[in-house]
């Protein structure tokens, strides 16, 4: 506690004394009781304890230092911080620096009276609600009391002051101030909690929106996958059915072996597509899979050459089937059926004129003399019609004296874009 002296002793007249307050001009009526002391409530919780741990500021103003000292002695309490001022200027300066729970003003002061000081203090917004107790040994008339209350006082005490009464009144205002501070602290805490909860709710709302968006995205993705599986399954079944019917019609005596070979070629392409999750395959890898049974002649007799290129899933199925048919025909009847024949399989992208064109060719050399087949089988259908429809391109198939020449030309975008390439085989059932 900061102890400060304030003189509440009248300058003239008989002074009554009390042990411990000699010359103070205070007439005690008895020892202070516990009921007259105002203390902070012990049931306000941790927040209240935190608020009550700081001492309460009380400003005592008197131009007589001894009166200030007496007031400090009378109001001595660990929970109070008494700030003394010996003039109006000191009082106003103290009010600028600190917040006060209570002001105790002597009325009779030089230059500025307690009434005038009170009016100045109340005119300031910061101090407008600070309670003021007037002390006086001179202004005892009713008009003075009325003037005091009019200046903003909450109480008006005459000297000599009754000590228990003064302590009790100060204790009441101190307790009110503590409760006010507690309520303000609780209000700040509640506002902070409301703000925190608002932020949490906003975060939850954003997370919920994100979750809903992701669920919707996943749902749409699953729906798309299901549609894709349905589409691919129907196409695959249609293709298998077309292969079966065309093979049975072309080679009824050798149906099982030819049908199995073609299904194996289709399965090789599908294995690559499954590994890539149907995101396309490298063309060179596709050709290696389709020509795996000819690995011993690849290089010296079978040249495979072209730039690195990743093609779409639909293009991979079409080109894989076409290469399988060409390779099977070359082994049985073409350039790879004798000892000196050879084949060149090449591809490239031609950039002039636009749009870019994808070109793939199969050219046989030094094979036995071939003739154009009398009837059209499934192999011819794959090499010409299916390739043309699936890739929206142009196909040339020639049976020259030294072997088969096949050339595919189509828009480069059809080889790369799986969404635009279609593989409808229904017409070949």
d(CA 195, CA 93): 36
Percentage, residues of the chain above pLDDT 90: 24
Chain centre distance of CA 37 = 55
pTM: 0.43
* In the predicted structure, residue 363 carries a pLDDT above the cut 90: yes
CATH number of 34-188: 3.40.50.2300
Output the pLDDT for position 139.
80
What mean pLDDT is predicted for residues 63-91? 92
What mean pLDDT is predicted for residues 219-244? 66
| pLDDT: which is higher, 257 or 12 | 257
Output the pLDDT for position 153.
83
Chain centre distance of CA 302 = 58
Average pLDDT over all residues of the chain: 77
The full set of domain ranges for the chain reads: 34-188, 251-428
* In the predicted structure, residue 278 carries a pLDDT above the cut 70: no
Model confidence band, residue 2 (pLDDT cutoffs 50, 70, 90): very low
Model confidence band, residue 42 (pLDDT cutoffs 50, 70, 90): very low
The answer to whether the peptide bond before residue 347 is cis (omega within 30 degrees of 0) is: no
What mean pLDDT is predicted for residues 65-79? 91
Q: Cβ distance 67 to 9 under 8 Å? A: yes
Structure tokens at 278: 């149907």
Closest listed residue to residue 172, CA positions, set 38, 40, 33, 34: 38
* In the predicted structure, residue 130 carries a pLDDT above the cut 50: yes
Give 248-255 contacts, CB < 8 A, sequence gap 24+: 249/377, 249/378, 250/375, 250/377, 250/378, 250/379, 251/377
Place of tokens 């064109």: 357
* In the predicted structure, residue 372 carries a pLDDT above the cut 90: no
Q: Using alpha carbons only, give the angle 92, 96, 98 rounded to the nearest 5 degrees.
A: 110
What mean pLDDT is predicted for residues 417-425? 42
* Cβ-Cβ contacts under 8 Å for 76 (sequence gap 6 or more): 1, 3
* In the predicted structure, residue 387 carries a pLDDT above the cut 80: no
What mean pLDDT is predicted for residues 137-161? 84
Q: Which of 248-257, 290-299, 342-351 has the lowest mean pLDDT?
A: 248-257
Output the pLDDT for position 403.
86
Model confidence band, residue 269 (pLDDT cutoffs 50, 70, 90): low
* In the predicted structure, residue 348 carries a pLDDT above the cut 90: yes
Output the pLDDT for position 260.
67
Q: Cβ distance 237 to 428 under 8 Å? A: no
- Domain 251-428 -> CATH class: alpha beta
Closest listed residue to residue 1, CA positions, set 75, 92, 69, 101: 75
Q: For residue range 165-214, what is the model confidence (pLDDT) as tens digits?
A: 999 989 999 999 999 888 888 898 899 989 889 899 999 999 999 999 99
Neighbour-count burial for 213-242, b at 16+ CB within 10 Å, e otherwise:
eeeeeeeeeeeeeeeeeeebeebeebbeeb
d(CA 84, CA 105): 10
What mean pLDDT is predicted for residues 254-283? 66
Output the pLDDT for position 204.
92
Phi–psi pair at 109, nearest 5 degrees: -135, 150
| pLDDT: which is higher, 300 or 424 | 300
Give 227-230 contacts, CB < 8 A, sequence gap 24+: 228/278
Crossing angle for the helix pair 114-123 and 142-150, nearest 10 degrees? 20
Structure tokens at 307: 């730039």
* In the predicted structure, residue 71 carries a pLDDT above the cut 80: yes
Model confidence band, residue 4 (pLDDT cutoffs 50, 70, 90): very low
Q: Which of 29-43, 179-193, 234-248 has the lowest mean pLDDT?
A: 29-43
Calculate the dihedral angle through the C-alpha atoms of 47, 49, 55, 58, rounding to the nearest 10 degrees: 70
Output the pLDDT for position 14.
30
Structure tokens at 100: 């006060």
Model confidence band, residue 425 (pLDDT cutoffs 50, 70, 90): very low
What mean pLDDT is predicted for residues 81-107? 92
Count CB neighbours of 103 within 10 A: 29
What mean pLDDT is predicted for residues 378-388? 71
């Amino acid at each position: 506690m900061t102890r400060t002296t304030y003189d509440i002793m009248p300058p003239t007249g008989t002074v009554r004394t009390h042990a411990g307050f000699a010359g103070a001009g205070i007439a005690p009526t008895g020892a202070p009781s516990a009921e007259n002391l105002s203390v902070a409530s012990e049931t306000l919780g941790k927040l209240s304890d935190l608020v009550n741990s700081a001492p309460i500021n009380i400003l005592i103003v008197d131009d007589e230092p001894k009166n200030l000292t007496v007031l400090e002695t009378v109001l001595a309490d660990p929970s109070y911080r008494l700030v003394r001022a010996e003039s109006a200027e000191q009082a106003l300066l103290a009010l600028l620096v600190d917040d006060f729970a209570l002001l105790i003003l002597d009325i009779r002061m030089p230059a500025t009276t307690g009434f005038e000081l009170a009016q100045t203090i109340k005119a300031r917004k910061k101090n407008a609600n600070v309670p003021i107790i007037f002390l006086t040994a001179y202004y005892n008339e009713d008009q003075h009391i009325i003037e005091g209350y009019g200046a903003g006082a909450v109480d008006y005490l005459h000297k000599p002051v009754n000590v228990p009464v003064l302590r009790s009144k100060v204790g009441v205002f101190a307790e009110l101030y503590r409760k006010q501070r507690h309520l303000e602290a609780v209000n700040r805490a509640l506002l902070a909690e409301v703000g925190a909860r608002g932020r949490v709710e906003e975060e939850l709302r954003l997370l919920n929106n994100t979750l809903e968006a992701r669920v919707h995205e996943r749902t749409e993705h699953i729906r798309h996958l299901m549609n894709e599986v349905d589409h691919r399954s129907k196409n695959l079944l249609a293709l298998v059915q077309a292969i079966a019917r065309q093979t049975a019609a072309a080679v009824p005596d050798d149906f099982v072996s030819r049908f199995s070979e073609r299904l194996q070629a289709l399965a090789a392409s599908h294995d690559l597509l499954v590994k890539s999750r149907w995101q396309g395959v490298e063309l060179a890898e596709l050709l290696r899979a389709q020509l795996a049974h000819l690995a011993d002649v690849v290089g010296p007799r079978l040249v495979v050459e072209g730039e690195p290129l990743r093609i779409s899933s639909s293009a991979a199925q079409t080109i894989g089937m076409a290469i399988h048919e060409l390779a099977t025909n070359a082994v049985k009847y073409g350039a790879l059926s004798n000892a000196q024949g050879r084949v060149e399989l090449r591809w490239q992208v031609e950039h002039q004129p636009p749009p870019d064109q994808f070109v793939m060719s199969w050219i046989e050399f030094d094979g036995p003399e071939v003739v154009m087949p009398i009837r059209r089988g499934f192999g011819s259908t794959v090499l010409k019609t299916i390739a043309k429809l699936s890739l929206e391109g142009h196909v040339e198939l020639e049976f020259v004296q030294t072997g088969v020449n096949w050339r595919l030309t189509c828009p480069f975008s059809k080889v790369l874009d799986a969404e635009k390439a279609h593989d409808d085989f229904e017409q070949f059932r």
